[in-house]
Amino acid sequence: MKQLIIAEQVFTHYPSVELGVIILHNLDNTIPAVTNNLLQETMTTLRKNLTIETLPELPVIQQWRNVYQSFGATPPSTYRSSIEALLRRILKGDLPNINFLVDLYNYASIKHLIPIGAEDLDTIEGDIHLCPAEGNEQFFTIGSTENSPPKAKEIIYKDNKGTICRCWNWREGDRTKITPSTKNAIIVIENIIPNTKEKLFAVLQEITQLLQQHTKTIITTHMMNKNNRIITI
């Protein structure tokens, strides 16, 4: 059985970290996106209330920039958390449709202003670890054939074969990316803002409900924190 394990060192430096995890089995990821209208409405609202200039003032952006700086991922113009990158794309244009699952979690991410990612479980080798990098774990970002391993002490997701995602949520790996043929997947919602567990749970519930409404996938959910840092996938 595979596990998702958050290293104790992560909580030493970032004690408020919480993850919402959704595990999917027997997903049909070829179905049309069901969030197009919701996504368009959310993007329109964001553009009314946010600009490139005011983006750094958001607490979630400030928090993730501080995290990135703590393990040397600077400057912010190069290393952007997934939520900052998404919001910047929206302020400059529209998000492209990718596939059902990616479109779904992108919608939830920008609606709730929280980083969300996913991996194809059938491409995972062994357990998944959220941990500081040693600096020699191979990594190929989506669409690239060039190995760009993480820096030592950078927080990464990795399995037995290498890095899955660099700088916590900066770059997803090509090997484990979500595609239309994905059948089994893990969605991870990342929260680092203290005392906002209720928000994390609300995001978890909304994604789960949308999956239940539009798919027949088998769903299991978990909440992870310093008191529950290991789950079975």
Q: What is the pLDDT of residue 184?
A: 98
Q: Determine the Cα–Cα distance for residues 65 and 168; give it in Å rounded to an integer.
A: 12
Q: What are phi and psi of 182, to 5 degrees?
A: -60, 130
In whole angstroms, what is the distance from residue 96 CA to residue 81 CA? Answer: 18
Mean of pLDDT values over 146-170: 97
How many of the other CB atoms lie within 10 Å of CB of 153? 15
Q: Omega into 96 within 30° of 0, i.e. cis?
A: no
Average pLDDT over residues 49-77: 95
Q: C-alpha distances in angstroms, 30 versus 21, 26, 80, 156, 220?
A: 22, 12, 30, 29, 21
**Predicted confidence band at 43 (pLDDT cuts at 50, 70, 90)?**
very high
Distance of CA 29 to the CA centre of its chain: 18
pLDDT exceeds cutoff 90 at 195: no
pLDDT at 180: 97
Residue found under tokens 């928090």: 63
Please name the residue that has the structure tokens 């005011």. 54
Span 156-166, average pLDDT: 98
Residue 14's contacts (CB-CB under 8 Å, 6 or more residues apart) are 67, 192
Average of per-residue pLDDT across 166-189: 98
CA dist., res. 87 & res. 52, Å (int): 9
Report all structural domains of the chain as residue ranges with CATH numbers, in order of start: 3-232 (3.50.40.10)
Query: What pLDDT digit, counting tens, does each position of 1-32 carry?
Result: 899 999 999 999 999 999 999 999 999 999 99
Eight-class DSSP state of 126: S
Give the model confidence (pLDDT) of 208-224 as tens digits.
999 999 999 999 999 99
Are 110 and 46 in contact by the 8 Å Cβ rule? The answer is yes
The pLDDT value given to residue 185: 98
Contacts of 164 (CB under 8 A, 6+ apart): 119, 124, 128, 156, 157, 158, 172, 173, 175, 176
Phi-psi region of 135 (alpha: psi -120 to 50; beta: other; left: phi over 0): left
Given pLDDT bands bounded at 50, 70 and 90, which one contains residue 194?
confident
Alpha helices in 14-78 (DSSP H): 36-49, 59-70
Q: Whole-prediction pTM value?
A: 0.96
Instruction: Name the pLDDT band for 131 (thresholds 50, 70, 90).
Output: very high
The set of residues, in sequence order, having a beta carbon less than 8 Å from that of 217 and lying 6+ positions away, is 24, 25, 26, 27, 28, 211
